[in-house]
Structure formats: structure tokens, C-alpha cells
Amino acid sequence: MKKGLLVLLIALFAISNIKAQEASGIIKVNPVGFIFGVFNATYEKPLNDKNSIAVGASYFNWSNLNISGLGASAEYRFYFSNNSDAPHGMFAAPILDVGSLSYDVPETLEVNGNGELVSKKAHTESLISIGGGIKAGHQWLWDSGIALDLYFGYGYRSAKFEDYDYSGGYPIVGLAIGYAFGM
């Protein structure tokens, strides 16, 4: 009886190892974003032993600032580890993203070109941004299916506000926790 239980436990452990190593996809969230009112989720799909694609979506609503937004991203990951297959180990990835932001502008008083004080009615302004960049990092997968993804990089964004254009670089730093599921 004890021998049979031991064999069963070893077999279950071996199967759980295989599933974690042969992950068919990972769903991840960024827990740090929750602190700032941002929800970000990503799905990563291995394509072969060294590559994967990832798509993400984000949402935030900062009601105290009257700002809300949506975003979407895509990346193609190159994994470099000789000891494990994608999506596990060190990686580098080009990324693309697009976002929209809405800002509720309260009624304001402004001085016009003639020096007169005029009232500007409350309204909503919108922004569309397109960006890209590169990031590098490491993703760990445990036999339980838990995934931890740490990365850093640099991005460039171009945004068009109704009366204002912006272009510039920004750092990329991230942490994601998720679950890898098997085939």
C-alpha cells in the first residue's frame, strides 16, 4: 500500500513537471499597477522552443483626476536559455502599444486674445498614443504553474492631444505574476 502511494505521488509529481515545462499559455497580471489604480493583464503563447508572442490590455480610471484610459500591447519574445524552452528563462522583446485617454476638463475661466475674461465650458478631451520599444527580462515558471515575469527596457511614445502633440522616451520596468497552463 505504501509502495503504491509512493509510486502514485512520484507519477503525479512527474506529470506536474511536464505540464509546467510544456505550458501552452500564460495569463499574467501586474500587481504593482493595482497600487496606482491600473489593471493590466497579458496572455503569452509559446510559438516554438525559443519564441513566444504576448498580447496585453490595460485599463485605468483615476476619478480624483477625472482621467481614464485603455491600452493594448503586443510583443514578440526571443528566449535565450539553453536549459529550458519558451516561455521560461531570459528574453528580449520588441513591443508595440496603442492607448487612448479621456480627461474631463471642468469649467474654467481664461483670458482670450483681447485680454477679456471668458468662461470655457466643461468638456472631455481625448488623447490617442502609439508607442514601441524594447525590453529584456527573465520569466520563471514553477511546477505548480505559477509564473513570475520581471523585465526592464526603454520605449518611445507619440501622442496627439486635441491641441497638443507629444513625443518622447520613457523607461519600462515591470513585474507580472500569473499562471501557466498546459496543453
pLDDT digits (tens, 9 = 90+) for 119-129: 777 778 888 99
Q: What is the pLDDT of residue 22?
A: 67
Mean pLDDT for the chain overall: 85
Percent pLDDT > 90 in the chain is: 55
pLDDT digits (tens, 9 = 90+) for 153-162: 999 999 987 7
Reported as a pLDDT band with limits 50, 70 and 90, residue 96 is very high
CA–CA separation, 93 and 137 (whole Å): 9
Query: How many structural domains does the chain have?
Result: 1
CB neighbour list of residue 138: distance below 8 Å, 6 or more residues apart? 89, 90, 91, 149, 150, 151
Instruction: Give the distance from CA 160 to its chain's centroid.
Output: 22
- CATH number of the domain within which 48 lies: 2.40.160.20
Q: Compute the average pLDDT of residues 71-84.
A: 92
CA dist., res. 33 & res. 73, Å (int): 16
Residue found by looking up cell 506529470 in the block: 15
pLDDT range class, residue 16, cuts 50, 70, 90:
very low
pLDDT at 6 over 50: no
Structural domain span for residue 108: 2-181
- Under the banding of pLDDT at 50, 70 and 90, the label for residue 54 is very high
3-state SS of the chain is CHHHHHHHHHHHHHHHHHHHHCCCEEEEECHHHHHCCEEEEEEEEECCCCEEEEEEEEEEEEHHHCEEEEEEEEEEEEECCCCCCCCCEEEEEEEEEEEEEEEEECCEEEECCCCCEEEECCEEEEEEEEEEEEEEEEEEECCCCEEEEEEEEEEEEEEEECCEEEEEEEEEEEEEEEEEECC
What's this model's pTM, rounded to 2 decimal places?
A: 0.77
Which residues lie below 8 Å from residue 145, measured CB to CB, with a gap of 6+? 19, 20, 23, 179, 180, 181
List all residues 6 or more positions away from 108 whose beta carbon is below 8 Å from its beta carbon.
Answer: 119, 120
